[in-house]
Amino acid sequence: MATAGGEGSEGAELQVLGTWSSPWVIRVRVALALKGLRYEYAEEDLANKSDLLLRSNPVHKKVPVLIHGGRPVCESLVSLQYIDEAWAGAGTTPLLPSDPYDRATARFWATYVNDTFFPSWRALFKSTTDEQRAAAFESVVPAVEPLERAFRECSKGKAFFGGDVVGLSSTSCSAATSCGSRWSTRWPA
Ligand SMILES: N[C@@H](CCC(=O)N[C@@H](CS)C(=O)NCC(=O)O)C(=O)O
């Protein structure tokens, strides 16, 4: 298996097709790191997508795509769960808790980050005028509040949604917030 961060080419046992600015890509890379897995990373030019990307994700044509043994897994949350199941014994702890209710809760908040929190967060970070920033802020606050409440409840005063354990919700959420700071250094307002 190739080294993480190596040049992309077809045929590696485990590959990620990604782009540097994407929170969906970051979360998959975080999950692979938590499992201690080595993989080959291929940076995609989204304005000129590779044949490998178009073949691997013909429905959405988006990154990330995780390719394991030549078989593609698309959609970041699906990939996180695939990684957790395919390498169940690897890394420190599973990304998903063992209790079914706790699993459902983790999936709920990870989906909330995708569908509700991140779109408003992205609008805030991409705003370039005071007016746009003020408008984006109005929609970020109501999206952040439930997430903060859930975090307080689930973490029980610890560092992660899963308490001491980095799981699906924390991986999803931290990737979404960290890419805001990546964007602001790359595209300062
Ligand atoms: N729901 C997808 C979102 C993936 C996504 O939006 N990827 C963007 C990069 S951040 C992309 O590939 N965009 C290319 C395009 O829309 O053509 C996931 O979670 O994997």
pLDDT, tens only, 25-63: 999 999 999 999 999 999 999 999 999 999 999 999 999
44 lines ligand 1 (CB under 6 A): no
Give distance in angstroms: CA of 12 to centre of ligand 1.
22
- Those residues with Cβ within 8 angstroms of residue 95's Cβ, 6 or more apart along the chain or in another chain: 31, 34, 80, 81, 83, 84, 166, 167, 168, 171
Residue bearing tokens 């408008």: 135
Give distance in angstroms: CA of 99 to centre of ligand 1.
30
Range with the largest mean pLDDT of 130-139, 153-162, 171-180: 130-139
pTM of the model: 0.84
Amino acid (one-letter) located at 156: K
Query: How far apart (Å, rounded) are the C-alpha atoms in residues 143 and 176?
Result: 13
What is the position in ligand 1's atom list of the atom closest to the CA of 75? 20
Query: How far apart (Å, rounded) are the C-alpha atoms in residues 17 and 52?
Result: 9
174 lines ligand 1 (CB under 6 A): no
SS3 state at 189: coil
Report the percentage of the chain scoring pLDDT > 90.
44
Please report the pLDDT score of residue 26 as a whole number.
92
SS3 state at 59: coil
76 lines ligand 1 (CB under 6 A): yes
56 lines ligand 1 (CB under 6 A): no
Closest to 96 in 3D by CA, of 14, 159, 165, 178: 165
19 lines ligand 1 (CB under 6 A): yes
Please report the pLDDT score of residue 5 as a whole number.
42
64 lines ligand 1 (CB under 6 A): yes
Q: Which domains are seen in the chain, by residue range?
A: 14-86 (3.40.30.10), 100-186 (1.20.1050.10)
Query: How far apart (Å, rounded) are the C-alpha atoms in residues 20 and 71?
Result: 22
Please report the pLDDT score of residue 64 as a whole number.
97
Amino acid (one-letter) located at 20: W
